[in-house]
Amino acid sequence: MHQLLRAKLMAAAVTGMVLSAPAVSADMLSGFKNQAAERLGGGGSAGAGGLGSLGLGSLGLPSIGAGATSNVAGVLQYCVKNKYLSATNADKVKSQLLGKLGMESPAAQQQDAGYQKGLAGMLSGSDGSSFDLNKIKDDVKEKACDYVLENASSLL
């Protein structure tokens, strides 16, 4: 009797799993993405594939647009200060961005929340999303800083 009940319960469970496969797959995919980001962030090792197999886009870096110009300038300063970018290239772009915004003075930079977040390593996208550079490993930070510098020129 118990075996028959157990078999029916197993069959019901398998049927439920099969019927909900799309939802499970979406949840699993989300879980895999979170695990990959977590591992790249220093909680574990990135494995043999590293960024080459995952691509920088898999980190979820926000898109850089006009609404985030002061933040991008702050992130560039963060990247230079922490030696992920050369000052020669990044300072020029940062100065141009700040000039475009009329934020050449340290007082104006101090008062701008987006710039201050950028100085702390928080990249804000034009869509309101954000990404904390402090939560990823150094080699990935360097690639993320390159991404910001490459895309910052589109804001000029």
- What pLDDT is attached to residue 99? 97
- What pLDDT is attached to residue 61? 87
Burial of 92 (0-12, 13-18, 19+ CB in 10 A): exposed
Low-confidence residues of the chain, pLDDT below 70? Answer: 1-58
Phi and psi at 132, nearest 5°, equal: -90, 110
**Hey, what are 4's tokens?**
């028959």
- What pLDDT is attached to residue 140? 94
- What pLDDT is attached to residue 56? 59
